[in-house]
Amino acid sequence: MIHGIINVYKEKGYTSHDVVARMRGIVKQKRIGHTGTLDPDAQGVLPVCLGNATRLCDMLTDKDKTYRAVLLLGVSTDTQDTTGAVIRESPVTFSEEQVRSAVMGFEGEYDQIPPMYSALKVNGRKLYELAREGIQVERKARRVMIHEIRIEKIELPRVEMTVSCSKGTYIRTLCSDIGDELGCGGCMESLLRTRVGRFKAEDGLTLTEIEKLVSLGELEKHIVPVDAMFDGCPAVYVSDGYRKLIDNGNQFPLNALDGSLAGLMDGHVRVYNSEGCFYGIYNYKKDAGVFSPVKMFLAKG
């Protein structure tokens, strides 16, 4: 079984679920998960976790993301993008400077109401399922952070922009909200996710490319090991006499370490056995001299 993360470049026409299903067929293993839904018409970075790396899915979903989007002003749709039914059209009579001011006004924190056409659940049902049945439900606004908006090009009624944002941000909704701020409405015409944490679109592999790498026996070269996702944490090595403790995911004392780690501070560490096999992330408390498990990743197959 393969354990690690692969940077998939999701092409248009695939759902994130489709990518996972195809990957299961390509690498011949079931234990696979993705790290954040991309709409079928969107493309770009979709990190896919394999084997014990699936325990990372929630952590990668929480990472900041960067998108390249085209906002179409003067058109409002029920899905907030151009795939939906048009519900309003208005003339776009603003100057570029007025548009620029409205767009840049969304930098920073703001309360965003998730769209009906989303995978969020209400009473156990996904919002998009309810929307397709013509059912509208009240959604609570969620605080999101727009770290940066860089306007790449304005050719009204279109605005091309790069957006860096926190988890849970809907770029479709941002486009719609900018249009509402101007008073003419707006929707998203295209979307490319260019970055998720350390993963970038230019390094991504399409499903066809991954299939070819598997046939050549070269896929492993493109798998990011689980421990590489925590390379900011110090590495510690547990001596063989205490190996049973980490085999069972238990706490272990400072004297269990192979070698001295003078100056080790409170916080998360990467734990390995004496042979260099990665076990997981532990939290070290200097006062107690104890390492406690946070998340275990030991591969068992």
CB 76 within 8 A of CB 52: no
- Coil vs helix vs strand at 298: coil
Query: Would you please indicate which residues are annotated as catalytic (active-site) residues?
Result: 39
Q: Which residues contact 135 (CB under 8 A, 6 or more apart)?
A: none
Beta strand extents in 37-185 (DSSP E only): 43-50, 65-73, 75-77, 86-89, 108-112, 121-122, 125-126, 142-155, 158-165
**DSSP-H helix ranges across 133-233:** 171-182, 207-216
CA atoms within 13 A on the CB side of 179: 31
d(CA 160, CA 150): 9
Q: What angle do CA 267, 271, 277 make, to 5 degrees?
A: 160
Is there a contact between 243 and 273 (Cβ–Cβ < 8 Å)?
yes
Say if residues 90 and 74 touch (Cβ distance below 8 Å): yes
